[in-house]
Chains A and B, each alone.
Chain A
Amino acid sequence: MIEEKENIVCPFCGCLCDDGVVKVEDNKIVGTRNLCRIGHKKFESAQHGRAESPRIRKNGELVPVTLEEAFDKAAEILVNAERPLFYGWSATCAEATQVGCELTEACRGIIDCTATICHAPSIEAIQDQGAPLSTLGEVMNRADLILYWGCNPMHAHPRHMSRYSVYPRGFFRKRGRKSRTIMVFDPRRTDTAKLADLHVQISPASDHMLVHTFREILNSYDVTHETVAGIPADAIRETMEAMAQHQWCILFFGMGLTQQMGKDRNIDVAIQLMHELNKYIGIRTTLMPMRGHFNVAGANITICSETGYPFAVDFSRGYPRYLPGETSAMDVLYRGEVDAMLNIGANPGTSFSNRALSHMAKIPLINIEPHNQQLLQISDVVFSPAMVGIECEGTAYRMDNVPIKLRKVVEPPENRLPDVVILTEILKRVKELKGKGA
């Protein structure tokens, strides 16, 4: 018999849609409703292609072992390491990250999350400028001007527009799409741009200039160039005037702004522009980073409340240190400092550079990942956990930092433990081994 489970939270992207319906028959996921194509695929494929668990590399081959043996081996690797790196945390729950922080501290290692290669510039800009933020419900209820800058939600966060920003009929925006103006700033004619009222097709890598030009106009300076970022100055002026006609504005920005030339400086000026719109024109303006993984915001929040810093936290001296560019994952790998690594809830196999990966291949690597991914080829201890949000519960944070409890839909396969349990077991053994050594 097919059972329909309601209000299921989708553990894929930062939208964290929580109105999903998942159809389960005989502990098998057979279908979904309301979830987008990506979310559906996440649930549909969750029970296929799972990595065997647990395995240890012996004589160059990953061979299945008992859980006990794998825990012991993982603890041994971490205790013998001088500078272990604990990376990932974006596709696991906040509870696991809490244990992860304790584990990092016990091993005097470095903890970093995937934000280090996506929205870290946003965090650094917030450290410079603060930020006017809001929750997605505020956008739904109040926004009449929505700016998407350097992001393409139609592909990356498919339900973002229909659920949170553009289409829902908000409390004060009763006509939904017709009550709102959409502007997209993107060098490409993306599917999001096709739906916009105005697509500003800027030349690549000139975002910083364009934001500054907006600020120039707002601060009553003359725009001296005829075109900026490939856009005629008059058109920019008209855009600014059009923006000023609105009441409540939000800027959603993505990788196109954070990982573009200028990085955190792009966000820095964008935040200043938002502050100035609030101050000079009296449109209420806020902004929001389009976070990728379903719990990357949660990784930042949890690591920050546990250690005081949001990412790239180094415990080698016993107390937390935070020096992005020095203690961030990519940098310690580039310098070859790391002598052991634990990866959880991330896939550096596809997102890290070859130089970082080649160092990872040299060192013992513990991998906690449910599926067969590229990184398994260089992993030394592999755990296949229960998938959080599908096979076990946990907390995740939406892109606006709202915490939502992930639900359990089906029972995990045999021998698949939740991330929290795996990390707690490793931590227990690490503490025992450290106690013996002292």
Chain B
Amino acid sequence: MDNKLYNLVTKEEKCYGCGNCVVACPVNAYNDPAVAGGKGPEQLDKVIMCVENGVIKILNMGLCKGCGTCIEECPDGAIGLEVNYTT
């Protein structure tokens, strides 16, 4: 991963595949109108994550600004932020 302060980490074994994080994510919603309307993403290169094979999968970590919306919407802790302190 690139050197960012925040990185997304996922725990597939805890994930229901509900897609709360996918839809709640402001980046996804801005980039893909289908996600804004609650549907699954159609432009996979423009969204941070999607649900694949029933569990969460990070597609483009580079797009994430670390706002943490997705974490708030996961009741099970299947998605989290990892903090990389450089110094």
Chain A in direct contact with chain B (Cβ < 8 angstroms):
yes
List chain A positions with a Cβ less than 8 A from chain B.
19-21, 31-41, 44, 140, 154-155, 158-159, 161-164, 166-169, 176-177, 191-192, 194-195
Question: Can you report 6 residue pairs joining A to B where beta carbons are below 8 Å apart?
Answer: A35-B54, A37-B55, A166-B20, A169-B29, A169-B36, A176-B24
The answer on a CB contact under 8 Å between A35 and B29 is no
* Chain B residues near A (Cβ < 8 Å): 15-20, 22-24, 29, 34, 36-41, 50-55, 73, 75-76
Across the interface, which residues of A come within 8 angstroms of B17, CB to CB?
35-40, 158-159
Residues of A within 8 A of B50 (CB): 33-34
A186, chain B: closest CB distance, angstroms: 13
Residue in contact with B19 in the complex, picked from A31, A162, A191, A194, CB distance below 8 Å: A162
Contact A191 B40 (CB under 8 A): no
In the complex, the number of residue pairs spanning A and B with C-beta atoms less than 8 Å apart equals 101
Q: Which residues of A contact B73 (CB under 8 A)?
A: 167, 177, 195
The answer to whether A34 touches B18 (Cβ under 8 A) is: no
CB pair A19–B39 under 8 Å, yes or no, is yes
B54, A41: Cβ atoms under 8 Å?
Answer: yes
* B-chain residues with CB within 8 Å of residue A191 when the two chains form the complex: 16, 75-76
State how many angstroms separate the Cβ of A368 from the closest Cβ of chain B: 27
9 pairs of A and B residues whose beta carbons are closest in the complex: A34-B40, A168-B38, A40-B54, A36-B17, A191-B75, A37-B54, A158-B18, A37-B17, A194-B75
Neighbouring A residues of B16 by C-beta, 8 Å: 36-37, 154-155, 158, 191
Q: Are A31 and B53 neighbours in the complex by a CB distance under 8 Å? A: yes
Q: Which residues of B contact A140 (CB under 8 A)?
A: 37-38
- B39: chain A residues within 8 A (beta carbon): 19, 34, 163
Contacts of A31 in B (CB 8 A): 52-53
Query: Which residues on the A side are within 8 Å of B24 (C-beta)?
Result: 162, 167, 176-177
**Nearest Cβ distance between residue A24 and chain B, in whole angstroms?**
14
B-side contacts of A39, CB under 8 Å: 17, 54
Q: How far is the CB of A141 from chain B (nearest CB, A)?
A: 10
Q: Given A19-B40, A167-B38, A194-B75, verify A162-B53 contact (CB < 8 Å).
A: no
Residues of A within 8 A of B34 (CB): 19
Q: Which of A21, A33, A34, A176 contacts B29 (CB 8 A)?
A: A176
Q: How far, in angstroms, from A38 to B15 measured CA to CA in the complex?
A: 11
